[in-house]
Amino acid sequence: MGEIALPIDRFPVPDEELVRIIVVTSLTISCILITAMAYSSAFCLISSQLLFIPIIYAAYFFPRRGLYIAAICSFAFQTIGYYHSYPDSLAMISVTSEAIFFIILAALITFFNERVRSGEVRYRAIFEHSQIGILLFDSATFAIRTSNTKFSGMLNYTPGQVNEKSFLDIFLTPREKSRFLERIEKEKTTSDFETRFATKDGGSCWVNLSWDHIDANTVSCSVMNINGRKIAEKLNNDNMMKYRQLTESSPTSILIIQNGFIRFANPSFVAFLGHTVAEITGKSLETFIDPGDRENLNEFMAQWSQKIPAAQTRELRFVTKSGEIRGAALFTTAIRHLENPATLINLVDISEKQRLEEKILQDNDRRRGIIITVAHELRTPLQPILGYLNLLISDPEGFGIVADTKKILERCLASVDRERQIINQMLDLSVLDSGKIKLKYSTFALAPMVRKVLDDGGFGTKADLTVDVGESVMITADADRMISILDSILSNAISYSKPPRKIGIIYRTGIDDRQHHIAIRDNGIGIAPSQLCSIFEPFQLADGVVLARKYERLGLSLSIAKKVVQMHGGDITVESVVNGGSTFTIHLPKEVQHDA
């Protein structure tokens, strides 16, 4: 409507209105002429009141112009009336009142007409500018009669393109279409029908439809674009599914604890405990903890509430439904659950690990037991050999042994004795490993002990000795063990150096130093850097080849020495230069914590 406009004297006038103006004008003119003729008494039957017709017509279609026309008509009517009735004053008054009546009538028509029209304009504006798509379609054919720009824009069409389509053609799939048809069949009025439309380029657009039959043939339908909401919902659903799967299928148990109560437990935890979900949720975590570990749990939970930023971890024992005790490692993270602070616990079942650890300990014990038994068994047959050899050597003349034979017997004795020593070391190490050995602490002066070791071992005859140990140096340790440690290191120094041997024993410490340092330095062949870290390792840790070589060189005395010093809370370290000598340093703590 009103799309074609003709410019008349600079103002564009819609063609339809132009036609109306022409019609009204011609009608008015003809009415005036008719009236004039009536007053000229030529046609008495034609009433001057015929002027009503153009006034009502004009006032109805063109309210403001209608008023002008009414005014013109009234003026013409009055002029003609005065002309005929003059000087009859009564008739003249009657003509004037009639003219005024015309104008009032036109004004009334205009007033009501305007009111009606402004209402229409308002509704049209609502329709055109609505943020909801609105359309009317035929209830029988579903042809779209009219739609607003919001609706066409929603589907990327121009308003004209949409209005040529059938409403049924814009559904995305035949399934959506049949759902709609079913629904509209059942319900004349519907709100919140969610479906998908196809956009012009074939995309999908989620919409929420509400419709109502406004008359027998027309359905008014409002269309709300809910694409954004649907996409967000789908994303949300996808995320929910993802997290759900994560927690439901996680092999680690997942718990949410709030104020000490279990708010959530995943199937893995349910399986771990053997209780049902209902038996677990809402209960306090403490319920499922071994009574012996409850204090441990409370201490652990106190750490959560202190909001220590680093994640916490603790191993606790749980009691399952069947009464079995199962160990688990708990890792906590602070989270928010239902708007309130909570603790997320990842729980790893370590009962299997603990079982294996126990088994390893048992196996080790068993193996140590075997080693100890085997060592005893190996040692026993050596006794008579050693006894006989000692006997023969102690009285060569009595047994008729010549000097050469005696030399051979002495070599046999040395070899057998060495074997005995190795077996003894093996035993010693196994017993030390078992942890059943207790050190016998005493406090003694170091210098006399060093002198005793040097004298007993005859080291003074084998090497040039330098001893730098203050007479006032007192140490607290297991004296017998210390003697054998010093003896082992000194023997080792003698074995791996050639005359002229030089051995230095140096004691060092500081006022702030919490350790004694006893260094034993030799001028021997030294130790290659690659072997430095392995010389303290007992032979059972090395492979066969290394075993043979190390056995020959070092035996087990250094392993035993290091282990014993470590039992004191100290250590033995070594520095060495190949062909320049080695320095073994015993580090012993000054303050020892020991029983008795």
Residues that bind other proteins (CB under 8 A): 376, 379-384, 386-388, 390-391, 394-395, 398, 417, 420, 424, 440
Asked, as a colleague might, if the bond just before 448 is cis with ω within 30 of 0, I would say no
Burial (CB count within 10 angstroms: exposed 0-12, middle 13-18, buried 19+), residue 414: exposed
Asked, as a colleague might, if the bond just before 309 is cis with ω within 30 of 0, I would say no
Least separation in angstroms between residue 431's CB and other proteins is 9
Cα angle 520-523-525, degrees, rounded to a multiple of 5:
110
C-alpha dist (Å) from residue 130 to 127, 133, 134, 224, 393: 5, 7, 8, 11, 124
Judged by CB, which is closer to other proteins: 392, or 505? 392
Least separation in angstroms between residue 255's CB and other proteins is 52
Judged by CB, which is closer to other proteins: 391, or 548? 391
**What six digits make up the tokens of 231?**
């996409």
Least separation in angstroms between residue 376's CB and other proteins is 7
Judged by CB, which is closer to other proteins: 115, or 452? 452
**What six digits make up the tokens of 38?**
């009536």
Other beta carbons within 10 Å of 498 = 8
Least separation in angstroms between residue 385's CB and other proteins is 8
Judged by CB, which is closer to other proteins: 74, or 425? 425
Least separation in angstroms between residue 420's CB and other proteins is 7
Residues 558/586, Cβ–Cβ less than 8 Å: no
Please list, in sequence order, all residues whose beta carbon lies within 8 angstroms of the beta carbon of residue 286, skipping any fewer than 6 positions away.
Answer: 260, 294, 297, 298
Judged by CB, which is closer to other proteins: 36, or 385? 385
Judged by CB, which is closer to other proteins: 100, or 391? 391
384-390 CB contacts, 8 Å cutoff, 24+ apart: 385/412, 385/416, 386/413, 386/416, 386/417, 386/420, 389/413, 389/416
Residues 436/471, Cβ–Cβ less than 8 Å: no
Residues 380/416, Cβ–Cβ less than 8 Å: no
Least separation in angstroms between residue 539's CB and other proteins is 21
**What six digits make up the tokens of 159?**
């308003």
Judged by CB, which is closer to other proteins: 413, or 465? 413
Least separation in angstroms between residue 490's CB and other proteins is 19
Least separation in angstroms between residue 417's CB and other proteins is 8
Other beta carbons within 10 Å of 276 = 10
Q: How many CA atoms lie within 13 A of 374 on its CB side?
A: 11
Residues 326/318, Cβ–Cβ less than 8 Å: yes
Least separation in angstroms between residue 479's CB and other proteins is 12
Judged by CB, which is closer to other proteins: 71, or 382? 382
Judged by CB, which is closer to other proteins: 10, or 436? 436
Distance CA 102, CA 104 (A): 6
Judged by CB, which is closer to other proteins: 93, or 370? 370
Give buried/exposed letters for 75-105 (b at 16+ CB in 10 A, else e): ebbbebbeebbeeeeeebeebeebbeebbee
Least separation in angstroms between residue 444's CB and other proteins is 16
Distance CA 243, CA 179 (A): 33
